[in-house]
Amino acid sequence: MISLLEAAKPYISRFKGIRISTRPDYIDDEILILLKKYNVTTIELGAQSMNDEVLNVNKRGHNSDCIRNASRLIKEYGFNLGLQMMTGLYKSDYETDLYTAKEFIKLKPDCVRVYPTVIMKNTELELLYNRGEYIPYNLDESVSLCSKIISLFNENDIDVIRVGLHYSDSLKENDVADNYHPAFKELCENRIFLDKIQSHLTNVNKKDVIVYVNQKSLSKAIGQNKCNLNKLNQLGYNITFKSDNSLDKYDILIK
């Protein structure tokens, strides 16, 4: 760790700071003092879950109190705090994953990453899956859950800086349950807009409707391959999407 930080030290004036990721149980006062010395500004914790049973059966090597203590120390020392969670782990479920998101919010991180679990070949998860002991979310279930988690973080002003794993050929080739999607975050954001629009249309007569969103969110509101637009048309609405940059990222206005 020190050798890597020393290698970066001569160039520290060229950038704002260093972002690192580590385990919650690797954080203590001695480590944080050292990281402060080398201009580390953001520390992300691979927390994964706030449920102790889930952490235990997935052999994470730490418990939820360890995450809470590490998060507190990181903030006390003035670092930006990032938390990473995994949805759909072995022995987890919809409510448990939502619980993790809500517990994250209590810790007030500056940013979060959300990674749906992907079962890889030649792993213990694959063995559990093949024996029928572990049933992962399918893609639609995962999108439905993570869209709600993203909305929860957004409502609490927590920056979601990553949703889903970066694409790689190896990842795609070794995905066992076929529930990985390279544009997973986009699918989730599509669902956020679809759910919001449908909720607002409950008391609207089926006629011409204009949906306003921020210009930057226009493609997400329309949906990948116009999936949201097509769905709403099938429900009998003649939808037109227009931009209104006074609206926030996931806000909508219907006329």
| 99-118 residues labelled b (16+ CB within 10 A) or e (exposed) | bbbebbbebebbbbbbbbbb
Domain-by-domain residue ranges, the chain? 2-182, 200-254
Per-residue pLDDT of the chain in tens (255 residues, 90 and over written 9): 999 999 999 998 898 889 999 999 999 999 999 999 999 999 999 999 999 999 999 999 999 999 999 999 999 999 999 999 999 999 999 999 999 999 999 999 999 999 999 999 999 999 999 999 999 999 999 999 999 999 999 999 999 999 999 989 988 889 998 888 999 999 999 999 999 999 988 877 777 899 999 999 999 999 999 999 999 999 889 999 999 999 999 999 998
**Backbone region of residue 25 per phi and psi (left: phi > 0; alpha: psi in -120 to 50; beta: other values):** alpha
Global pTM? 0.93
Cβ atoms within 10 A of the Cβ of 235, count? Answer: 11
Q: Is 134 exposed, middle or buried (0-12, 13-18, 19+ CB in 10 A)?
A: buried
Q: CATH assignment of 2-182, given 3.40.50.800, 3.40.50.620, 3.20.20.70, 1.10.287.10?
A: 3.20.20.70
Helices 64-76 & 94-107 angle (0-180, nearest 10): 20
143 near 187, Cβ under 8 Å? yes
